[in-house]
Amino acid sequence: QVQLVESGGGVVQPGRSLRLSCAASGFSFRSYALHWVRQAPGKGLEWVAVISYDGSRINYADSVKGRFTISRDKSKNTLYLQMDSLRTEDTAVYYCARDSRTDAYNFDYFDFWGQGTLVTVSS
Amino acid sequence: DIVLTQSPGTLSLSPGERATLSCRASQSVSSSLAWYQQKPGQAPRLLIYDASSRATGIPDRFSGGGSGSDFTLTISSLEPEDFAVFYCQQYGRSPLTFGPGTKVDLK
């Protein structure tokens, strides 16, 4: 079965960095685009970033552009989110989610989600 | 960016009642709309995609409708496990955006 397991969250001071990981299993990792979606405490869902199935297309939300970097390692079936220059408003649960399409550069809905990892940015 | 507006913010109903949730887009997204259910402490779960197609394993009491800018999610008869927050999401245009959610709680 499809599994997405996030890790790497924790408490970090403003201005510092953190790297999240998402280990994928149960499907053909190299065939699907993958996203990061976040949810601030008590708030709604916010799409953060996407990387295409082959890593050639990457998009970011304006709120994180220039500070976050999404990447993937097909040899490890793992998705990453490098978060630099963190701000208090980046505090959220970060989910990785699989895009519904295979082998495509257009991004759709999210058919599987991980359980999330909490990032708290606080001094 | 396409803004999604969901109404009502909260819907207070009893088991067995019908729930009708609305999602309106600031511009047309054709049928590129999905619905998710989220329970406290859990990840969202896909319910509906392409405005009206049920995801795998979703009971047929859940149905979606609409196209263009106006969409609805209907739960024909609420079961105890259905009480949750529901989000719509559009994928008609980048960036992908979500609505603010509708909470369905116990009356």
Distances (CA, A) of B41 to A39, A69, A115, B38, B87: 11, 27, 9, 8, 15
pLDDT at A34: 97
Give DSSP secondary structure letters for A46-92: EEEEEE-TTS--EEE-TTTTTTEEEEEETTTTEEEEEE-S--GGG-E
pLDDT in tens, A20-62: 999 999 999 999 999 999 999 999 999 999 999 999 999 999 9
For tokens 């701000």, name the residue. A87
CB-nearest partner of B46 from A107, A109, A115: A109
* B82 — pLDDT class (breaks 50, 70, 90): very high
pLDDT at B76: 98
pLDDT in tens, B8-63: 999 999 999 999 999 999 999 999 999 999 999 999 999 999 999 999 999 999 99
Task: Return the SS3 of B82.
Answer: helix
pLDDT at A102: 86
Chain B residues with CB-CB distance to A107 below 8 A: 91, 94, 96
For tokens 């402490």, name the residue. B41
pLDDT at A92: 98
Give residue A18's identity as a one-letter amino acid code. L
CB-nearest partner of B95 from A47, A95, A116: A47
CB-nearest partner of A114 from B32, B43, B99: B43
Mean pLDDT of B57-70: 98
Chain A residues with CB-CB distance to B97 below 8 A: 47
Distant-in-sequence, close-in-space partners of B56: CB < 8 Å, separation ≥ 6? none
Residue A39's beta-bridge partner residues?
A: A45, A93
* Pairwise CB contact (< 8 Å): B94 & A59: yes
pLDDT in tens, A67-108: 999 999 999 999 999 999 999 999 999 999 999 998 888 899
- Choosing among A5, A48, A110, A115, which should be mutated to test the B contact, i.e. which has the most B CBs within 10 A? A110
Which chain A residues have any C-beta within 8 angstroms of a chain B C-beta? 35, 44-47, 50, 59, 61-62, 95, 100, 107-116
Backbone angles phi, psi at A31, to 5 degrees: -100, -10
